[in-house]
Amino acid sequence: MAAFQLMAPAETSQSSYPDARQPSQPAPHPATAALVVGALGVVFGDIGTSPLYALRETFLHGTGLAPTPEHVLGVLSMLFWAVTLTVTIKYVVLIMRADNKGEGGVLALATLASRGLSAKARRIRNTVTIFAVVGLALFYGDAIITPAMTVMSAVEGLSAVTPAFTPLVVPVSLAILVGLFLLQSRGTADVGRLFGPVMLLWFVVLGVLGAWQVVKNPAVLEAINPIHALRLVADQGFGIFWAFGSIVLAVTGAEALYADMGHFGRKPIRIAWLGLAMPGLVLNYFGQGALIIADPTVVHHVFFELVPQDYIIALVILSTMAAVIASQAVITGVFSLTRQAIQLGYLPRMEIQHTSETAIGQIYIPRVNWLLMAGIVALVVGFGSSGALSGAYGLAVTGAMLVDAALATVVAILVWRWSWPVAVLVFGFLAIPDVAFFIANALKIPDGGWLPLVVAAMIYFTITTWRRGRRLVAAEMSEGALPLKAFLERMERAPDRVAGTAVFLTADASHTPAAFLHNLKHNKVLHERIIILQVDTMDVPVVPESQRVEVERLGKGFHTVIAHYGFTEQPDIPEALRACRPHGIAYDEMETSFFLGRETLVPSQHSRLGRWRRDWFISLSHSASASKTFFRIPPNRAIELGNQIQI
């Protein structure tokens, strides 16, 4: 396996940003009450809809567990401690401390881990990067399954009303999911305001319905004692892993919770989880358990049996709305991580639309939206029911959780300054459920568990191909490149100068850009002011405006400008040039021409990428958004100069 550095040298940098190694501080999030409601509407949808299927599948999906009181108490004990250890302690209390200046997700975690390493720790840095790529790939593998699973689980509540509604499950699920993806362009702010009150009602209903059954059978609260879980493990032996494969459904969504942190902030998410989401979930699981103990025959539709027959339709409608929100949590997380991946050089450039004027984390990526929708529609049609799809659910989630635990251990040692025995002991203990869940879900590979692995493998292949290909292109372009200062020293007689400013974008401002040499060769003139501009993506979410640009005056009308952007920011070249005014550069759009290099990739017979990677890399390059669009360059001021490169 080839090694990859966390930051592609030509695209990102750390040393030039003076605050890159300062301890991270969360970004300010005003109006906490509104953000708590918004977080309920976006962040907790996935984990919040687990009561629809988690307990049911534990007794039905080939686990071998009978709904006896002893087994019910054992399963409830496992559910309670899985939610407590994995979600509350591991993610909400510990891993959410590892924010990269407010941003969460596996890439932010890997960036923090890499930042704590010395420059000489190349092997560990490469390992951290590989973990980041694997975690990102697994997250995408989970994202394509979660919306289909949750929405179908909710709509299947119609079958609890009457079996005659069963044929409607797939078409209704498809209509709901397609509608959700059509809504994405409005942004997570509108979605959060729309869904937040619904999710608030959902968790209240979960808690009330569960408490109602617990009051009828308070003995079910004995399941809080972990001895019941240990007895179930002793009774089932290795067979307990089949049950683990379904119990894990209660904690899916924890990784999306962390990935969505940049949208709402750490504090609102913690308040929402500890104050409402967790109590509602735990009470509902215990209420379902009490109902099964009283009548084991209700296990097939246990969630909808919590209400009288006349109220099932109302609960189906509410649960369907909650399932839509579950899908939203994952979609939002995918947008966040995709933007980070693009900025850090993991994926090719794509169109990113900002849907809020005040919250930088609220974005919409059209290409990702439609690809995700197509995959989810195919799953709904292909599997046809949540029970069939449950075999594919969980493997990617547990793999991503293990990656998070490993990276968090590194962060605890290098950034939080824990002693390594303490860090290994704490996160090793918290990873025990993750390991058990991962093994259990690996047993489901023949029953559909292969699906997220295939998706993750495709994403991993894409990311590694893109990074290796861009590195080879950068090496090819820099080979034999003339240092800019050396060029100026040799320029004894200046060519004819024309009025205006010429801006040449380049990956390395210390060398003469190929586009500049092509322009000089063909047009044989220079503008009176030449700006060699390099865009650096830093390993922090946002760069302060005071540190946006570095300007160096080289003489003979030449300047170099290095524009710094965080990995959550959209580069804006005109904005960066306006920031150069204090450095003596006045930007006038109508007097400025932007010269962009356009690479034409030609397949080589002996490519260092190999045939499959070579062809895929060329395809990815062709699909990347144009530089002038991505960097917000006025299209009527841009000039593209071609350059052919063998790859």
In a domain, 394, yes or no: no
Residues 95 and 222 in one domain: yes
Residues 241 and 352 in one domain: yes
- 505 SS3 class: strand
The domain of 93 spans 49-387
The closest alpha carbon to 106, from 91, 120, 89, belongs to 91
Residues 496 and 602 in one domain: yes
Query: Which residues neighbour 405 within 8 Å (Cβ) at sequence distance 6 or greater?
Result: 90, 427, 430, 431, 434
Residues 498 and 349 in one domain: no
Residues 259 and 381 in one domain: yes
In a domain, 406, yes or no: no
Query: Which residues neighbour 242 within 8 Å (Cβ) at sequence distance 6 or greater?
Result: 62, 63, 64, 440, 443
In a domain, 398, yes or no: no
The pLDDT value recorded for residue 643 is 76
- Using the 8-state DSSP alphabet, how is residue 274 labeled? I
The pLDDT value recorded for residue 283 is 96
The pLDDT value recorded for residue 361 is 56
In a domain, 422, yes or no: no
Residues 640 and 518 in one domain: yes
Residues 357 and 503 in one domain: no
In a domain, 250, yes or no: yes
Q: Tell me the three-class secondary structure of 81-127, residue by residue.
A: HHHHHHHHHHHHHHHHHCCECCECCHHHHHHHHHHCCCCCCHHHHHH
In a domain, 572, yes or no: yes
Residues 382 and 486 in one domain: no
The pLDDT value recorded for residue 264 is 77
List, for the chain, all residue ranges whose pLDDT scores fall below the cut of 70: 1-31, 61-63, 119-120, 187-193, 263, 356-362, 480, 492-494
In a domain, 450, yes or no: no
In a domain, 533, yes or no: yes
Q: Choose one of 372, 387, 402: the last residue of a domain.
A: 387
Q: Choose one of 387, 416, 450: the last residue of a domain.
A: 387
The pLDDT value recorded for residue 63 is 60
Using CA atoms, how far apart are residues 66 and 584, in angstroms rounded to an integer? 78
Domain count, the chain: 2
Residue pair 4/129 in contact by the 8 Å Cβ criterion: yes
The pLDDT value recorded for residue 530 is 93
Q: Choose one of 368, 387, 406: the last residue of a domain.
A: 387
The pLDDT value recorded for residue 626 is 80
Question: Can you state the percent helix, strand and coil of the chain, rounding each to 5?
Answer: 65, 10, 25
Residues 321 and 218 in one domain: yes
Residues 357 and 484 in one domain: no
Residues 271 and 124 in one domain: yes
Helix (H) or strand (E) segment spanning residue 161: helix 158-161
The pLDDT value recorded for residue 385 is 83
The pLDDT value recorded for residue 489 is 82
Distances (CA, A) of 61 to 65, 71, 76: 9, 15, 17
Residues 383 and 486 in one domain: no
Distances (CA, A) of 214 to 71, 282, 288, 293, 302: 17, 11, 9, 11, 14
The pLDDT value recorded for residue 573 is 93
Using CA atoms, how far apart are residues 645 and 611, in angstroms rounded to an integer? 16
The closest alpha carbon to 433, from 91, 39, 23, 1, belongs to 91
The pLDDT value recorded for residue 237 is 87
Give strand ranges (E) for 460-506. Answer: 496-506
* Helix/strand number for the chain, H first, E second: 27, 8
